[in-house]
Structure 1
């Protein structure tokens, strides 16, 4: 028998995701906090979006937090990695993604 430790992110009584380590769980929880604030803020905009669109946009903006911060601070799109480093960075990201132990939790 094996023992596994899982960190589960729960929102409004619903399990959202489980993680193998606390750092990733905390980061995801923080991203959900940001998405919630962004969703509330987007509802105040003059654009009237469907609730699903508003939630999806808020989540995407929260996921793109670093790029959004760079755009707001500099007024420019973030620079991508130099051409010779870009393939290596993509390979590393793909490898990290494959080895990540992030498992979505299905709502009961």
Structure 2
């Protein structure tokens, strides 16, 4: 019988990881998404909680692209267009 070590996300218990660092990154992404969701709901009261959650997860998963865009590199957002066109 083999023993396997797995890591569980504290914020997403259904999600299992083989690497602790990967589980930590996932938790931090979810923390960022939660904070973004709260800000979006306050800034745009007409958003539903579901819409705020979807938008905040989208942004948190792509934080590197948004970080570049917020540092006066709006062209970085083109990567999001490419991603969307690949899904279509």
Superposition TM-score, scaled by structure 1 size: 0.65
Instruction: Tell which has more relative contact order, 1 or 2 (C-alpha 8 A, sep 6+).
Output: 1
Q: Distance in 2 between matches of 1:57 and 1:18?
A: 24
Instruction: Structure 1 unaligned segments of length 5 or more: list them.
Output: 81-108
| Larger relative helix fraction | 2
Query: Runs (4+) of structure 1 moved beyond 6 Å?
Result: none
Q: Which has the larger radius of gyration?
A: 1
Structure number with higher strand proportion: 1
1:35-50 map, 5 Å: 35-46=33-44, 48-50=46-48
What RMSD in Å do the two structures reach over aligned CA positions?
Answer: 1.7
Corresponding residue for residue 77 of structure 1: 75
Where does the alignment leave 5 or more consecutive residues of structure 2 unmatched?
A: 80-88
Question: What's the CA shift string for 1:20-44, capped at 9, x where partnerless?
Answer: 0011001001101100110010011
